[in-house]
Structure 1
Amino acid sequence: MSRIVYVNGDYLPEEEAKISIFDRGFLMADGVYEVTSVLDGKLLEFEGHLNRLKRSLSELDMAQPPQFDDLLEIHRKLVADNDVTEGGVYLQITRGAADRDFAYPKDATPTMVLFTQSKVVEHAPAAQTGIKVISIEDIRWGRRDIKTVQLLYPSMGKMMAKAAGKDDAWMVEDGEVTEGTSNNAYIVKGNTIITRALSNDILHGITRASVLRYAREAQMRVEERSFTIEEAQAADEAFITSASTFVMPVVEIDGEAIGEGAPGAHAKRLREIYIEESRKRAV
């Protein structure tokens, strides 16, 4: 059976879903998105994703769609209709359809689409083994804090990693790590977790904020600053966070094993805490 998806107010089978060829998300990548994880059929950190979505729209001077206030209900209905117990809900809003022009249209109605994806997230095999990453130059635009659909270079980065026989890539700008292709990056030295400070250079991760809060509550020291690949290779541990991977250990960077080359204690414990606390707060 095909999935039920949502397009501008309608729930319909995915085969019947259509948007205009003039949609600016298609023509200009003029759109934003969010991915909310689902565990036990419930939404994780929905409020955080909604607040970031509002910020992304505001930063791009993009109007909220007419159905914006119904987003929680829409998410829940899609999860129920598609019988999703574990996975995620993808949401995308674009500026809408208008004749092609670089200038923003004055009267376009925003396009809003959502769909679900079922996949294993809590017991993902990679969480037990850790992932291996390569480093690549970060050549993205300067407003990475806005969660836009401009994902071509991150896709290229993942393909570079795949071609190298690895799992993902960490991006480097001016000699320092910014973030992963679709995640925030961390290293651990002693009892100190180190991750780049928030700015326009990186996405303000919802999972990142929660994990750092839980780390501090667990008496782990947190230092928000930049670090190099060389510093990461000499660290005791490394890991990434994202809505779809939670906390995922990194065991190798550019061919160099991190620590003992296996998931470290901090990453494993933070993953446990994150899942436990997120499950409590799920809606």
Structure 2
Amino acid sequence: MIVLMNDKLIRREEAKVDIEDRGHQFGDGFYEVMKIYGGKIFTLKEHMDRLERSARELKISLPFSREEIEQKVKELVTENGAEEGAIYLQITRGGSIRQHHFPGAETVPQLTAYPFSCHLPEKEQQEGVETVLTEDIRWKRCDIKSLNLLGNVLAKQEAKEAGKFEAILHRDGIITEGSSTNFYGVKNGAVITHPVSPLILNGITRIKIAELCAANDIVFKEKALTVEELKDLDEAFISSTTSEIIPVIKTGEQVIGNGSPGPVTKTLLQLFKQITP
């Protein structure tokens, strides 16, 4: 495998990371996961927009220009002959003696990226999934795609141990999102999802779903759903870069709608597949 280390494409076994890298010691960095369809990176612009935003929010300077990063990740796809899958790209504040405050200007941010295989969950897309419902214990800047994912990891592990696909998170009875997905309810044909705020990540697939709704006369409401309102939903679904759109047929002990994927979810999945390369 060929990986990207800063601005160099090298073999994976040659890649080295400083033991005092702040991403390693503090989670002091951010990342993006970009889907590859037919050898091309899907929604690269949107991912780069969010990458730049994360950098600004964490006060980390991009080590290269946006144009240079875009060109290098494209080369990474080509060099690996990656037709399907995804790219993981990470930027940290860099390697420095361990101290909590930011290091000086001599510390250079570090960029790494590599391709990985990921298969679309087609069975789950067609049949729907069950999820656990658990408290959202994450920090209050979930809008930044930072490396601080321990709360997400614990929630995902809870789902795995319960034999469920995903964990749906809530704060004080308000549903925020999934451990690695955005969450949506459907009521009377309208799609309802948590407003963009520091409590959720504005997913790239979420952005595309909003655009698809607008273009196809589907009402898209940014409104906080409560755990209590789950019982009144007609449908529910989750979305992410690697899983696209997946119906949710049960959350916790609550069956959603009639317990099968609903028409609005199916329509959005079909529309989404039409815009992927």
Which TM-score bucket, shorter chain as reference?
A: over 0.9
What is the SS of the residue equivalent to 2:104? coil
What is the SS of the residue equivalent to 2:49? helix
Cα deviation 1:162-199 (Å, max 9, x = unaligned): 11111110110011101100111100011111001111
The answer to whether the 8 Å contact 1:7/1:112 transfers is yes
How far off is 1:278 after superposition? Answer: 3.3
Structure-2 separation of matches of 1:140 and 1:249: 24
Say whether residues 1:120 and 2:119 are aligned partners.
yes
Structure-2 separation of matches of 1:194 and 1:67: 37
TM-score by length of 2: 0.96
The letter of the residue matching 2:243 is: T
Structure-1 separation of matches of 2:253 and 2:116: 32
The answer to whether the 8 Å contact 1:45/1:278 transfers is no
Pick from 84, 87, 90: which aligns with 2:88?
90
The answer to whether the 8 Å contact 2:155/2:179 transfers is yes
TM-score by length of 1: 0.94
Structure-1 separation of matches of 2:122 and 2:16: 33
- More moved, 155-164 vs 73-82: 73-82
Structure-2 separation of matches of 1:254 and 1:98: 44
How far off is 1:4 after superposition? Answer: 0.9
How far off is 1:216 after superposition? Answer: 2.0
Paired residues in the alignment total: 276
Pick from 34, 58, 61: which aligns with 1:60?
58
What is the SS of the residue equivalent to 2:132? strand
The answer to whether the 8 Å contact 2:48/2:66 transfers is no
Structure-1 separation of matches of 2:231 and 2:183: 13
The answer to whether the 8 Å contact 1:36/1:43 transfers is yes
- Aligned partner of 1:133 in structure 2 is 131
The answer to whether the 8 Å contact 1:95/1:111 transfers is yes
How far off is 1:260 after superposition? Answer: 2.1
- Aligned partner of 1:16 in structure 2 is 14
- Aligned partner of 2:110 in structure 1 is 111
> What are the ranges of 5 or more consecutive residues in structure 2 without an aligned counterpart?
none
Cα deviation 1:209-258 (Å, max 9, x = unaligned): 11011112111111111011231233111001111111111111113321
The answer to whether the 8 Å contact 1:9/1:67 transfers is no
Pick from 211, 231, 254: which aligns with 2:252?
254
- Aligned partner of 2:216 in structure 1 is 218
What is the SS of the residue equivalent to 1:248? strand
- Aligned partner of 1:206 in structure 2 is 204
Say whether residues 1:176 and 2:169 are aligned partners.
no
How far off is 1:119 after superposition? Answer: 2.2
Structure-1 separation of matches of 2:188 and 2:64: 50
The answer to whether the 8 Å contact 1:135/1:172 transfers is yes
The answer to whether the 8 Å contact 1:85/1:118 transfers is no
- Aligned partner of 1:189 in structure 2 is 187
> What are the ranges of 5 or more consecutive residues in structure 1 without an aligned counterpart?
none
Structure-2 separation of matches of 1:96 and 1:80: 27
Do the aligned partners of residues 22 and 67 (structure 1) sit closer, same or farther apart at CA in structure 2, a change above 3 Å counting? farther
- Aligned partner of 1:28 in structure 2 is 26
- Aligned partner of 2:163 in structure 1 is 165
What is the SS of the residue equivalent to 1:171? strand
Off by >6 Å, runs of 4+ in structure 1: none
Percent of paired sites with the same residue: 36
Structure-1 separation of matches of 2:235 and 2:170: 19
Pick from 4, 7, 13: which aligns with 1:6?
4
CA-based RMSD of the aligned residues comes to: 1.3
